[in-house]
């Protein structure tokens, strides 16, 4: 009987070790998937603070919370079931879908560069027009617009994450993607909340009697525009890099190998020629060339979507 009890304990211990290993594997896979989607995450965090600009400060966190709830609904109730079904029954569609998303990221990044060059910012004009409506209606419009934008970015995050774990069993895939969805949503909107309230915290600290605390508060207020500008720039760069890299890898997987081979060849050459810094400089080379691809593809899409319709309209007018 004692031997049977010990055997039972051994079985339980083995199951615990197996469960722990499975949890470790899921955690590691979720980490890999989250890191791969980091470029889109940065863009998500860079885009969202714009939606609460011009709102009453006491309403900012409430609006962010509503957007965050919409984001998690997007990921868990719409995107996750759709991509899991695709990965299970039509896995060959994942690469083309990912490439379409990559092209969209290139377009978004190139469009932001175009706006900087031309000085035209349509979203700011739209936001200024919206402020004349009732506050409650304006908030509803802000939230719905932010959730729509989030849907596109969330779809990219989830598809990129899925692409990293597509060889996992179905249940593990589902768990990993749920973990990625929850953690990334919490991270993005937690960071957004901190950014948005940074100036309010600075104002509160600036009136404290302690000179050091007051100086720190004034520094926070002054730093806020710099933080937002830096985050926006990083977001654009991340979109172009991630979008270009997705297109290069996707084209390689579909058989059009020379663009990826060329980038990889240059990366290896830089890695081999720079000694101890080879790893970093090789990665930077790959990133820069991927961003160049992103700019070129994005520019083509911007031209097609912005300039061609205008010419068509002028031709129709004549």
Q: What angle do CA 64, 69, 74 make, to 5 degrees?
A: 120
Greatest distance between any 2 Cα atoms in the chain? 97
Q: Is the pLDDT of residue 284 over 70?
A: yes
Distance CA 46, CA 122 (A): 17
Of 5-14, 31-40, 112-121, 155-164, the poorest mean pLDDT is in 5-14
Q: Report the percent of the chain where pLDDT is more than 90.
A: 17
Query: What is the per-residue pLDDT across 2-26, written as a single tens digit (0 to 9) for each?
Result: 454 334 434 434 433 433 344 455 5
User: Does the reported pTM lie above 0.95?
Assistant: no
Strand, coil or helix: 301? helix
**pLDDT score at 108:** 83
Q: Which residue ranges make up each domain of the chain?
A: 25-121+135-307
| Contact between 219 and 206 (Cβ < 8 Å) | no
Quick one: DSSP state of residue 133?
Answer: S
* Highest mean pLDDT of the ranges 121-135, 253-267, 304-318: 253-267
Q: State how far the alpha carbon of 122 is from the alpha carbons of 72, 112, 114, in Å.
A: 27, 11, 12
């Amino acid at each position: 009987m004692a031997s049977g009890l010990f055997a039972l304990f051994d079985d339980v211990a083995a199951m615990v070790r197996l469960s722990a290993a499975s949890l470790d594997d899921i955690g590691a896979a979720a980490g890999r998937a989250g890191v791969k989607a980091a470029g889109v995450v940065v863009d998500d965090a860079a885009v969202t603070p714009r939606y609460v600009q011009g709102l009453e400060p006491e309403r900012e966190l409430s609006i962010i919370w509503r957007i965050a709830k919409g984001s998690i609904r997007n990921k868990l109730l719409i995107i996750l079931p759709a991509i899991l079904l695709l990965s299970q029954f039509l896995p060959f569609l994942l690469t083309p879908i990912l490439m379409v998303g990559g092209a969209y990221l290139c377009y978004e990044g190139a469009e932001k560069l175009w706006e900087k060059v031309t000085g035209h910012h349509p979203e700011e004009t739209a936001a200024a027009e919206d402020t004349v409506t009732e506050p409650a209606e304006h908030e509803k419009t802000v939230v719905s617009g932010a959730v729509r934008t989030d849907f596109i970015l969330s779809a990219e995050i989830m598809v990129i994450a899925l692409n990293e774990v597509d060889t996992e069993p179905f249940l593990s895939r589902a768990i990993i993607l749920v973990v990625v969805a929850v953690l990334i949503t919490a991270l993005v909107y937690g960071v957004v909340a901190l950014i948005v309230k940074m100036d309010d915290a600075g104002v509160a600290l600036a009136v404290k009697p302690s000179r050091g605390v007051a100086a720190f508060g004034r520094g926070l207020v002054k730093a806020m525009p710099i933080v937002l500008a830096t985050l926006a720039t990083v977001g654009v760069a991340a979109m172009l890099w991630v979008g270009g890299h997705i297109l290069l890898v996707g084209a390689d997987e579909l058989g059009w190998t020379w663009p990826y081979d060329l980038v990889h060849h240059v990366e290896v050459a830089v890695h081999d020629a720079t000694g101890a810094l080879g790893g970093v400089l090789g990665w930077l080379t790959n990133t820069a060339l991927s961003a160049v691809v992103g700019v070129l593809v994005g520019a083509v899409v911007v031209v097609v979507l912005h300039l061609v319709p205008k010419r068509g309209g002028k031709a129709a007018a004549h």
